[in-house]
């Protein structure tokens, strides 16, 4: 007997989104679950344990950020926010509340499915974390605090290491500026975004061809791209 397809919970009050995503998810090998409001979504998340959740922020009964906060109280299921809210502050708030990624409406199906595959893959890796994060030509050895590009060790400062390691631990995810600043420099520097610009610039110079993997998400944060 073949294994059941992974369930993807879509929490959205727009019927057309469900009509579009339901068949698309099935064609991609997933089992879609439908929730038209936040409370039904939280119930299904707890009862069915989906592989990933696609969450709209503008729900009729609860704001999406509150849904994220309630969800994170009992589960670490990957969540991709799919919303028409395109302001940077909304993206940052959703990511800080526990979202794993953010896709704006209208979205391309290919991009959404790629983000979905990445989110579910990361969830599996998180269960058995590897001491070395590998992406493209870059290897970040979290156990021995070493960075290699194409097998060549790259010398980085302690602060550059902490920044790169923070991104590597959330490979493929957007990590907000506030979170990076808090983790690397401490809570007193949560607003000092110039630190990030300087150190990300330094890292890119040292990483050479692997610098392409260090992506800026304008006004939101940074992402270390996942590349085979």
pLDDT in tens, 65-85: 889 988 888 888 899 999 887
- pLDDT, tens only, 81-92: 998 876 778 888
Q: Residues 38, 61: contact at Cβ < 8 Å?
A: yes
The full DSSP string for 74-124 is: T----EEEEES---HHHHHHHHHTT-SEEEESS--HHHHHHHHHHHHHHHH
- pLDDT, tens only, 19-49: 999 999 999 999 999 999 999 999 999 888 8
Across the chain, what does the average pLDDT equal? 88
At the fourth CATH level, the homologous superfamily of domain 7-127 is Response regulator (3.40.50.2300)
Where do you find CATH 3.40.50.2300 in the chain?
7-127
Where do you find CATH 1.10.10.10 in the chain?
132-224
d(CA 52, CA 37): 17
217: Cβ contacts below 8 Å, ≥ 6 apart:
91, 174, 223
120-138 residues labelled b (16+ CB within 10 A) or e (exposed): bebeeeeeeeeeebbbbbb
- Provide the CATH topology of domain 132-224: Arc Repressor Mutant, subunit A (1.10.10)
Parallel/antiparallel/unpaired status of strands 31-35 and 52-55: unpaired
- Print pLDDT tens along the chain (228 aa): 567 789 999 999 999 999 999 999 999 999 999 999 999 999 999 888 899 999 999 899 998 888 998 888 888 889 999 988 767 788 888 888 889 899 988 888 998 998 898 888 776 655 545 688 899 999 999 888 899 999 999 999 989 999 999 999 888 888 899 889 988 888 788 888 898 999 999 999 999 999 999 999 988 999 999 887
């Amino acid at each position: 007997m073949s294994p059941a397809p992974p369930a993807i919970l879509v929490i959205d009050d727009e019927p057309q989104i469900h009509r579009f995503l339901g068949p698309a998810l099935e064609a991609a090998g997933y089992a879609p679950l439908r929730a038209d409001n936040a409370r039904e979504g939280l119930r299904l998340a707890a009862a069915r344990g989906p592989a990933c959740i696609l969450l709209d922020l503008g729900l009729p009964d609860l704001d999406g950020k509150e849904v994220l906060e309630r969800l994170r109280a009992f589960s670490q299921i990957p969540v991709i926010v799919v919303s028409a809210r395109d302001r940077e502050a909304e993206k940052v708030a959703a990511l800080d509340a526990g979202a794993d990624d953010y896709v704006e409406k209208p979205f391309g199906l290919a991009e959404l499915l790629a983000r979905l595959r990445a989110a579910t893959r990361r969830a599996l890796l998180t269960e058995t974390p590897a001491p070395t994060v590998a992406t493209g030509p870059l290897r970040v050895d979290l156990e021995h605090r070493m960075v290699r590009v194409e097998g060549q060790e790259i010398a980085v400062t302690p602060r550059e290491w902490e920044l790169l390691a923070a991104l590597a631990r959330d490979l493929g995810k957007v990590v907000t500026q506030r979170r990076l600043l808090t983790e690397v420099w401490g809570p007193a520097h949560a607003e000092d975004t110039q630190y990030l610009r300087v150190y990300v610039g330094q890292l890119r110079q040292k990483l050479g061809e692997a610098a392409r993997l260090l992506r800026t998400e304008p006004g939101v944060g940074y992402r270390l791209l996942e590349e085979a």
